Amino acid sequence: MEQKNQQKNTASRPPIVVVMGHIDHGKSTLLDYIRKTNIVDSETGGITQTISAYEVVHKDEAGLEKKITFLDTPGHEAFSKMRERGALIADIAILVVSAEDGVKPQTIEAWKTIAESKIPCIVAINKIDKPGANIEKTKIELAENEIYLENYGGQIPVAEISAKVGTGVDNLLSLILILAEVENFTGNASSEASGFVIEVNLDSRRGILGTLVLKDGTLKKGMTVAVEDTTCSTRIMENFKGEVIGEATFSSPIRIVGFDKMPRVGAEFISFDKKSDAEKFAKNWKLEKSKDAAKKSSDSAEADKKILPIILKADVAGSLEAIAKEIAKIKSESAEFRIVASGVGPITESDIKGISGGSDALVIGFNVKTDRSAHEVAEQRGITITNFDIIYKLAEWLVTEMEDKRPKVETSETVGRAKIIRAFSRTKERQIVGGKVMEGELKLNSVVKIMRRDFEIGRGKIVNLEKSKAKVSSVEEGAEFGMMVESKIEIVQGDVIESFTIVKK
């Protein structure tokens, strides 16, 4: 009977669409045109650096209004995790490719994410209004990279558009609805809501806000949402426009207010009628996570590496995740960066006070401000706070910091070798010898190794150097010489003198 009721409540649900592609091929401009708002101007360098969800309405072939939910994923390479998450959450992917620039490395990367997630795809060839646009060439480039469009060896639908002026955008939306009908996406309105966390923000007045996309069920006011080990009541629930709502169903993007701690972006959420059930779920999840962490820590202890701690604050949780990925790329045999504290919001006094003395900690802010009290404490303790608003600049800076702060290993590099042909007079700690330089050069006042049968037996210093009975400052390869060496070791015929330098690597 229950199964029949579930089938009865199963209905077609609006498609959730992810827009992907190269950094400047017009993804944000396309969404801007579709939803008649502007996000490009508010982004640094015109790069979308957060993920959001929007709902639009479009008429299908029968003239009926149908909803489509769009996820806007960033194009920057560092945000590939967010793109991957978007592809998992989405039902349909749109791969935006510029008719002017053609296929770029990020186009291929986005396509791989789409292909791995096995979700249906539409290719949108954008910027067809540009003077340098070449649609045919772009289609051939796509085929060369194994992205096979309809009539080009494959079955991927294609829309030729100009996101700037709107040409072909209606056709693209119609293609989405046709594809959604073919795929038959469904949801059960009677089941408890489940879906994914899209974004997390910290509001100084309202607390922790989470943006969610429902994949199934209905979320009502008064229920409790659990995301891993954190919970939130749906007492305050808003749609994507910021309007307060009492209920939301599948495919809807919503925002809820009042999480007890930061939920992980990309994590799945489930809903409960009773708060106690949600809290029980969160507690059990935390216990399981602790067990896994203990096992990992015993399995993979890192030894002999200097840890360079990072305190990281960012504007949104998605940025934290992306920066963590950049940090993980920076490798060194003798040191590693470790994020010891991170969060969304401004850099505060407590962030600085939590740093132990002499720890070499780096305090980084990304698109956030620093409280005045934090500045004062940092100055008192000699701690530098560094702020960024472009992620690749942050990455470049971190590479330099790693080079400066990692432990340097001293290595000895040979700069000259000479064989001793004759040993002359010797006083208590000085000896005159003659020899020939076999490689490199010997220099006056340099410290040398005294080698006998390939073993170092001691060290000395060249205090006098002569060539053809004339005093010189250096003797080059192939030349014979006489020298006075200051050393406690007696040098004999057949010994080798090695001049060296200490290099830090």
pLDDT at 128 over 50: yes
On whether both 168 and 222 belong to a single domain, the answer is no
Pairing of strands 207-216, 253-257: antiparallel
> pTM value?
0.63
Predicted local distance difference test score (pLDDT) of residue 78? 47
* Residue 474, beta-bridge partner list: 443
Q: What CATH number is associated with residue 209?
A: 2.40.30.10
466 and 337 within one domain:
no
What is the predicted pLDDT for the residue at 40? 41
Grade residue 441 by pLDDT with cuts at 50, 70 and 90: very high
Q: Average pLDDT, stretch 297-309?
A: 63
pLDDT of residue 14: 92
pLDDT score for 232? 95
CA distances from 26 to 95, 139, 434 (A): 11, 17, 75
Spatial separation of the C-alpha atoms in residues 194 and 143, rounded to whole Å: 38
For the stretch 402-427, pLDDT in tens is 888 887 777 778 899 999 999 988 88
Distance in Å from the first CA to the final CA of the chain: 73
Q: Domains in the chain: how many in total?
A: 4
Picking from 388, 405, 422, the residue at the C-terminal end of a domain is 405
Do residues 140 and 250 share a domain? no
**For residues 400 and 241, which has the higher predicted lDDT (pLDDT)?**
400
95 and 236 part of one domain: no
393 is a domain residue:
yes
The answer as to whether 312 is a domain residue is: yes
Per-residue pLDDT, averaged over 353-361, amounts to: 71
pLDDT score for 385: 92
Answer whether residue 482 is part of any domain. yes
The pLDDT, as a whole number, for residue 4 is: 46
Tell me what the pLDDT averaged over the chain comes to: 85
Same domain as 258, residue 361: no
- The reply to whether 155 falls in a domain is yes
Q: How does pLDDT run across 205-222, given as a tens digit for each residue?
A: 888 889 999 999 999 999
Q: Are residues 204 and 58 in the same domain?
A: no
Can you give the CATH number for the domain in which 334 is found?
Answer: 3.40.50.10050
Give DSSP secondary structure letters for 187-238: EETTSBPEEEEEEEEEETTTEEEEEEEEEESEEETT-EEEETTEEEESSSEE
Q: Assess if residue 147 is contained within a domain.
A: yes
Which residue among 187, 215, 231 closes a domain? Answer: 187
From the CB of residue 275, how many other CB atoms can be counted at a distance below 10 Å? 14
Specify the CATH number for the domain of residue 63: 3.40.50.300
Cα four-point dihedral sign 93, 20, 254, 170: negative
Does residue 262 share a domain with residue 136?
no
Does residue 274 surpass a pLDDT of 50? Answer: yes
Q: What gap in Å lies between CA 168 and CA 123, rounded to an integer?
A: 12
Same domain? For 387 and 466 the reply is: no
Stretch 353-370: mean pLDDT: 82
What pLDDT does 307 receive? 85
Answer whether residue 464 is part of any domain.
yes
Task: Tell me the longest C-alpha to C-alpha distance in the chain.
Answer: 111
Among 187, 216, 236, the domain-final residue is 187
CA 201/CA 318 separation, integer angstroms: 10
Q: Who has greater pLDDT, 307 or 290? A: 307
Residue 77 is given by DSSP the state G
pLDDT digits (tens, 9 = 90+) for 151-188: 888 899 999 999 899 999 999 999 999 999 999 999 89
Q: What is the DSSP string of 30-61?
A: HHHHHHT---STTSGGG---S-EEEEEEEE-T
Asked if the model's pLDDT at residue 3 lies above 70, the reply is no
The Cβ of residue 32 has, within 10 Å, a number of other Cβ atoms equal to 18
Q: pLDDT tens, 21-65? A: 887 788 888 888 887 743 344 444 544 445 478 888 888 888 888
**pLDDT tier at 109, thresholds 50, 70, 90:** confident
> What is the Rg, in whole angstroms, of the alpha carbon atoms belonging to the chain?
33
Q: 228-266, pLDDT tens digit by residue?
A: 999 999 999 998 888 899 999 989 999 999 998 888 878
**134 vs 99: CA distance, rounded Å:** 5
Are 275 and 417 within one domain?
A: no
At 304 the pLDDT is 61
Q: Where are the alpha helices (DSSP H) in 300-371?
A: 317-329, 349-353
Q: How confident is the model at residue 300 (pLDDT cuts 50, 70, 90)?
A: very low
Is the pLDDT score of 481 beyond 50?
yes
pLDDT at 202 over 60: yes
Domain interval for residue 25: 10-187
- Mean per-residue pLDDT for 436-452? 92
CB 217 within 8 A of CB 270: no
Is 5 contained in some domain?
A: no
